[in-house]
Amino acid sequence: MLSALEFYFDFYSPYGYLASLRIDEIAARQGYEVIWRPFLLGPAFAATGHRPLLDTPLMGDYVAHDFARSARLQGAVFRLPEEFPKAALAPSRAYYWLFDQQPENAKKLAKAVYRVTFEQGRDGTQPELVADLAEPLGVDRKQLLTAITTAEVKERLKQETQAAMARGVFGSPFVFIGDEPFWGNDRLEQVERWLQTGGW
Amino acid sequence: MLSALEFYFDFYSPYGYLASLRIDEIAARQGYEVIWRPFLLGPAFAATGHRPLLDTPLMGDYVAHDFARSARLQGAVFRLPEEFPKAALAPSRAYYWLFDQQPENAKKLAKAVYRVTFEQGRDGTQPELVADLAEPLGVDRKQLLTAITTAEVKERLKQETQAAMARGVFGSPFVFIGDEPFWGNDRLEQVERWLQTGGW
């Protein structure tokens, strides 16, 4: 019996951030857990031919407006980092490194990264900042900073990103209930309904 | 005092079709009318660099799945025309030609075009079919077929499409409440909430 959803996201995705604030609670209400799976949007954009939303002609202004409006609707603080978007290598690598040892702490780290990035508008891609956020979780900062430079951890993120795309993930956030795919923060109401009803 | 929304759509947009089935009712519940404004997605795609959804690598399968799932969720029949997408010149031109004389009938014609296209999967871009659908509304079919070949009517659609893009429309459906923009069938719940609350 299925008991967990999978939540794919990029650490520099505003809609991923907004979904991250709700997904665990939505799943828990229906008795499910959520496995968080960061990946890099860059390779997915390379495949779809899309550009980051804010850089897309005609769409940019709307999307900036919708980020803020969507945040207000769900009562979330939202602030765009000055340099945006960026490839979120350090937090994504740190996530998987930590996940293999302490999955709960990996999720806490992910939440902390999203918080500094989109609540405070800081640069959540900086390794030192990621290490700062991991320290209160009992993670040795030197160990983390070393780990994310190893070929093994780099390769792990690459493989996770490729596996996500092989599964059909092309945007952030992206949720799977079993094999049922849902793309976008604005599909979370459908995710809850699917969990409740078993589909329609 | 604002009393009407504007509903922009492309006649070959499945999400536009799904929104067309709900938008008048949603607006009416809050005491608003809806002005329907067909436009051509082609020029908007040229500006954003996007391709039609089904032809976008990685996204195509998801989108085909989501068309059908979204339709089931709102209890709508959905069938994709064999040749898809196409530039919906004839129905869009016929719409504006009729709109200038009989706005209510223009909306009825638009609904009929969407119905044959996405309920029956027929080719709703065919001038003869558009004329067939207009006839029961009391429209002379020869007059319609002639009108949509005139430079004036062609130019009208071109200008409507350019005006839509100048206003920021880049996808279908797209709704404006005054200057407040909403993109997507999945924003209609927000549209209703905005009408109820005056915004958030």
* 8 Å CB contact of A73 and B184: no
B180 conformational bin, left if phi > 0, alpha if psi -120 to 50, beta if neither: beta
| Alpha carbon distance B98, B113 (integer Å) | 14
A50 phi and psi angles, rounded to 5 deg: -85, 160
Question: Residue B77 — φ and ψ, nearest 5°?
Answer: -70, 140
- What's the pLDDT score for residue B128? 98
Q: Taking CA atoms, what residue in B is nearest to A48? A: B57
The predicted complex's ipTM stands at 0.93
Is the CB of A2 inside 8 Å of chain B's CB atoms?
A: no
pLDDT given for residue B1 in this prediction: 60
| Cβ pairs bridging A and B (under 8 Å) | 66
From the list A48, A62, A189, the residue facing B58 with the nearest CB is: A48
Q: Residue A52 has what pLDDT?
A: 81
- Is the pTM above the cut of 0.80? yes
Q: Do A190 and B49 touch (CB under 8 A)?
A: no
Ranges of residues in chain B with a pLDDT under 70 are 1
* Neighboring chain B residues of A60 at a CB cutoff of 8 Å: none
Q: Which of B69, B165, B190 sits opposite A58 (nearest CB)?
A: B165
Contacts with A, B 10-39, CB within 8 Å: none
Supply the pLDDT for residue B58.
Answer: 86
What's the pLDDT at A46?
Answer: 83
C-alpha distance from B68 to closest chain A C-alpha (Å):
10
Three-state DSSP class for B82? coil
Q: State whether the Cα torsion A8-A11-A13-A18 is positive or negative.
A: positive
Is the Cβ pair A57, B49 closer than 8 Å? yes
> Beta strands of chain A (E only): which ranges?
4-9, 33-38, 174-177, 180-183
Pick the residue from chain B with its C-alpha nearest to A43: B58
For residue B182, give how far its alpha carbon lies from the nearest alpha carbon of chain A (Å): 8
Residues of chain A with pLDDT under 70: 1
How far B103 CA sits from the closest chain A CA (Å)? 29
| pLDDT for B188 | 97
Domains defined for chain B, CATH in brackets = 4-197 (3.40.30.10)
- Distance between CA B123 and CA A77 in Å, rounded? 47
Provide the residue count of chain A.
200
- Chain B within 8 Å of A158 (Cβ-Cβ)? no
Q: What is the pLDDT of residue A196?
A: 96
